[in-house]
Amino acid sequence: MSLTMLMFLLNVLAYVLSVGPDGIIRPDVLYSYGLYLHNITVHPECLITYMFLHANLIHLLFNMLGLLTFGVQLERVLSTSEFLVLYLLSGLMGGLAQTALTPDVPVVGASAAIFGLLGCLTMLRPMSMMMFLFIPMPLALFAVLYAALALFVIQSGVVTQVAHAGHLVGMIVGGVLALLYRPSEALKGLLAVAAITALLLAGYWFLTHP
């Protein structure tokens, strides 16, 4: 069984075991196994368990779609150990980053880990196409646009139900690991990301300075 499928099954199983009749995560599970500052000192295992829990079915479905989309592609180029370290470390660091911003709000979800997969795949296959809101675009373009959105939301101090800091840090961890795993390929990906960033910044400057 592939690691992608194993993670998929673990997430689905955790969801089934953790939700109430309404399909929403039970409060006792959220506060025992979700990630927030106080819980790290009481239940340190929440650093791992939080990334296998989801708030509701929609949350699970979107994350599992991302897992299958990026995980299957990455397993073709990474070893089992590389993939596992990528997944868990991205989830861990992303969760800690989000907790630093919202220490009293329980965080659940696999999204930081999945954004780690996205960050790694972007560096290794920057021009691979993905669908976002039914619009095809290269991974590198999506990564740059999302990073800009996340930075804007974090800087503005707007509180949302989306863990933008966790996503962003997870994606950065994935990119860094790509550089460690496959330096020559990842450097080309980094150049692609830099070029797209420069083009978008130039376009923004021309639009705002007529």
Nearest to 5 by CA among 79, 64, 56: 64
Annotated catalytic residue within 111, 156, 164, 184: 111
Annotated active-site residue in 54, 167, 184, 209: 167
Is 128 labeled as catalytic in the residue annotation? no
- Could you confirm whether 167 is annotated as catalytic? yes
Token pair 């920057």 is found at: 126
Active site residues: 111, 167
